[in-house]
Amino acid sequence: MLTISGLVALVGQIPGGALVDAARSERTLAAWAIGAISLSALMLAAWPVFAVVLGAEVLHAAASCVLGPALAAISLGLVGHALIGERLGRNARFASIGNGVAAAAMGACGYFLSNRAVFFLTAALVLPALVALWRIRPDEIDPVRAHGGISEPPPTRLIAGLRKLARNRPLIILAGGALTFHLANAAMLPLVAGTVTMRSARWATVLIAACIVVPQCVVAAFSPWVGRKAQQWGRRPLLLIGLGALPLRGVLFAFTGEPYALVAIQLLDGVAAAVMAVMIPLIVADVTRGSGRFNLAQGVVGSAIGVGASLSTTIGGYMTDHFGSRAAFLALGAVALSGFLTMVAAMPETRPADA
């Protein structure tokens, strides 16, 4: 089920971005995507049989491919390129807080009620989400800005748009860096969880929860700061800070045996997550300004991220089984270091002169 859902999410990134670029109202499209996610949760709660669960997973994955670009497009349409950095930082803060609150609420719901009740709670969260969208007036969103600016000629065909983006060198470099980052990053937390479980079985659940919560707190605290500094310092220095935290994290994990120290090292994950959550859509907005293909470009980078994350856990698991966890952490750190050095050498500064 999860594999099929992951494949749909991977394949759907580029069409999802293209759909947002073609939409007349990103707000309406986001509402439909939220409704589809709510429907998938109701399907899981009401009819937990193979065919329905499979359909719910596919629906959820497809809707997610549309919702992410749509929210970024709404943000760009609301504030424009000059203020998009700080807006993306605030988005990341609220997303992190939402993840934490939702996880706590769903955990309590599952503990005190039932596992099925978790899905009903998920479906009910469509209401505050739609209220938030409804409070954004349509005339507050500039449709030209939401798509990345004016395109000459206007973007129509998907293949033509992809060909043009393929000639956008900074975008391709960013996609390659994002792929390498997630190739190294996605497997680290599962490997840490395995290490914690073996070395401190009694406190494993609490420590693993802390490994998840600590980075979310860092993201919530620092994401708006990252957005503001991106306007002052430029994109490249902050991007390199985020990328550089990952190889350091891999080396520290490799030579740290104390479970509580592993939790402390997860602070670096929060630093990287805060930077990447802001920098990736911000740089995409920079390099597609005036193209009308902002959301399609988000889909291209999202596909690269999906490929890297999908391969990461397989490679990490293989390395751990055959060479041990230390070798796995070092190998993932080496992948992260290669991506960092490539970005140092190749990635230009993309902050516009008028930012």
For residue 165, what are the CA distances in angstroms to 19, 122, 289, 292, 319?
16, 36, 12, 11, 35
Give the model confidence (pLDDT) of 201-218 as tens digits: 666 777 777 888 888 889
- CATH, residue 103: 1.20.1250.20
pTM summary value: 0.86
pLDDT at 155 over 60: no
| 176 found inside a domain | yes
Average model confidence (pLDDT) across the chain: 88
Measured CA angle at 235 (ends 283, 89), to 5 deg: 75
Instruction: Give me the mean pLDDT over the 300-314 stretch.
Output: 90
Mean pLDDT of 292-312: 90
| 114 falls within a domain | yes
Return the number of other C-beta atoms located less than 10 Å from residue 63's C-beta. 23
Domain count, the chain: 1
CA distances 10 to 13, 306, 312, Å, are 6, 6, 14
State both tokens at 276. Answer: 């990447």
Q: What percent of the chain is modeled with pLDDT above 70? A: 95
Kindly state whether residue 147 falls inside one of the protein's structural domains. Answer: no
Q: Which residues contact 238 (CB under 8 A, 6 or more apart)?
A: 226, 229, 230, 275, 278, 279
pLDDT digits (tens, 9 = 90+) for 111-125: 788 888 889 999 999
Res. 180: pLDDT tops 90: yes
82 band by pLDDT with thresholds 50, 70 and 90: confident
DSSP class of residue 255 equals T
Res 271 pLDDT > 70: yes
Burial class (CB in 10 A: 0-12, 13-18, 19+), 127: exposed
Residue 241, amino acid:
I
Closest to 196 measured CA to CA, from 183, 184, 210: 210
Structural domain boundaries enclosing 268: 2-140+160-346
CA distance 295 to 210: 34
**Residue 137 region by backbone torsions, left for phi larger than 0, else alpha for psi between -120 and 50, else beta:** beta
Residue 289 in any domain: the answer is yes
Position 225 in a domain: yes
On whether residue 123 sits in a domain, the answer given is yes
Q: Is residue 261, in this structure, part of any structural domain at all?
A: yes
For the stretch 13-38, pLDDT in tens is 989 988 888 888 899 999 999 999 99
- Biggest alpha carbon distance in the chain? 63
What is the model's pLDDT at position 170? 94
